[in-house]
């Protein structure tokens, strides 16, 4: 019999390209991963991996085995769901991955209420970088991924996954409070700080600037929205950020709305969503998003 845990190791190595990277993701040592993969090769009677430069790649036999893993893990997830349903309790481990800006605003509220209503749910949280949510979900490291989608950035990362839009938020050009800048077109020669060009937020920023008639030159690059705000305040730089990243911006900034939006979406595997615990957590994440939108609406309704 093949140990599913070893199949997961194989899947991680195939996705990440090196045994070391897979070991880091799974919190194992590289030697432990190598040993388990050797046992897996003995179980199936075929060589599954081979070196290619500094990386490792699947052999033809490894490709065949990996192609069968989604069905195997789907079956295991169905079995887990059925057992949980038979017990009649909403319980079990639910691992959530979220972007930093989402973690700061939505997660604390949602997790507190989940713990109160469903004390038998064992919550876990992983901070995600750009473009990591769908991958970690498919690898089985997450049950729910909170990801982002920018209106002007095409993507195909969530194919085959269940996607739910939690909220859609505006984006703002952020300048210092005393800046004379009043619109995006005036920032072509400004000191720009923003995400790396390869990130979704970086691509969205570039697209918005091009629509305004210029190509942004990022003097400072950081995917940490907080760093961007600090540089705007300290050096008079400018940046473009979604609303969730501005919840603690304070009065030292002026926000100028631009023609862009960001969706915050919840991704789950289709089989995983059948688990009562995953469904409960998903529901509370949506409720937290709804409460956040209500707070924003109330704030906007207050006269300046």
| Tokens 């400004």, residue located | 190
User: What percent of the chain shows pLDDT beyond 90?
Assistant: 54
Q: Of 266, 270, 228, 265, whose CA–CA distance to 249 is shortest?
A: 228
Is the pLDDT at 182 greater than 90? The verdict is yes
Least confident segment among 62-66, 116-120, 240-244, 267-271: 267-271
At CB < 8 A and 24+ separation, what contacts does 119-124 make?
120/89, 120/90, 120/91, 120/92, 121/90, 121/91, 121/92, 121/94, 121/277, 121/280, 121/281, 122/91, 122/92, 122/93, 122/94, 123/94, 123/96, 123/281, 124/93, 124/94, 124/95, 124/96
Rounded Cα distance between 21 and 12, Å, is 8
Q: Pull the structure tokens for residue 126.
A: 């992983």
Is the pLDDT at 303 greater than 60? The verdict is no
Tell me how far CA of residue 60 lies from CA of 63, 147, 237, 304, in angstroms. Answer: 5, 33, 52, 65
| Tokens 């002026």, residue located | 254
Is the pLDDT at 49 greater than 50? The verdict is yes
Contact 244, 102 (CB under 8 A): yes
Domains of the chain, with CATH numbers? 4-82 (1.10.10.10), 90-167+264-301 (3.40.190.10), 168-261 (3.40.190.10)
122 or 157, which is more confident?
122
Is the pLDDT at 298 greater than 80? The verdict is no
Is the pLDDT at 157 greater than 90? The verdict is no
Is the pLDDT at 302 greater than 60? The verdict is no
* Other Cβ atoms closer than 10 A to 143: 23
Q: Three-state SS across 225-294? A: HHHHHHHHHHHCCEEEEEHHHHCCCCCCEEEEEEEEEEEEEEEECCCHHHCHHHHHHHHHHHHHHHHHHH
């Amino acid at each position: 019999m093949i140990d599913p845990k070893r199949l997961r190791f194989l899947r991680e190595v195939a996705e990440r390209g090196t045994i070391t990277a897979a070991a880091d993701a799974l919190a194992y040592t590289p030697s432990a991963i190598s040993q388990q993969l050797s046992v897996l090769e003995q179980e199936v009677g075929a060589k599954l991996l081979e070196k290619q430069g500094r990386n490792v790649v699947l052999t033809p036999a490894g490709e065949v085995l990996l192609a069968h893993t989604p069905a195997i893990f789907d079956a295991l997830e169905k079995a887990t769901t059925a057992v949980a349903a038979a017990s009649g309790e909403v319980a079990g481990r639910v691992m959530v991955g979220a972007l930093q800006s989402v973690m700061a605003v939505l997660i604390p509220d949602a997790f507190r209420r989940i713990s109160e209503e469903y004390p038998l749910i064992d919550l876990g949280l992983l901070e995600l970088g750009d473009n990591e949510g769908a991958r970690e979900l498919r690898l089985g490291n997450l049950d729910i991924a909170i990801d982002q989608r920018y209106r002007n950035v095409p993507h195909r990362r969530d194919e085959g996954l269940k996607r739910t839009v939690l909220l859609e938020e505006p984006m703002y050009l952020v300048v210092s409070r005393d800046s004379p800048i009043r619109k995006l077109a005036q920032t072509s020669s400004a000191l720009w700080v923003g995400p790396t060009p390869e990130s979704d937020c970086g691509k969205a920023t570039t697209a918005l600037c091009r629509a305004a008639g210029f190509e942004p030159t990022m003097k400072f690059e950081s995917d940490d929205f907080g760093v961007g705000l600090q540089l705007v305040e300290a050096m008079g730089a400018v940046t473009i950020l979604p609303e969730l990243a501005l919840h603690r911006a304070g009065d030292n900034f002026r926000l100028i709305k631009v023609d862009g939006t960001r969706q915050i979406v919840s991704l789950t595997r289709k089989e995983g969503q059948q688990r009562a615990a995953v469904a409960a957590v998903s529901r509370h994440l949506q409720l937290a998003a709804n409460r956040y939108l209500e707070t924003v609406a109330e704030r906007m309704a207050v006269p300046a």
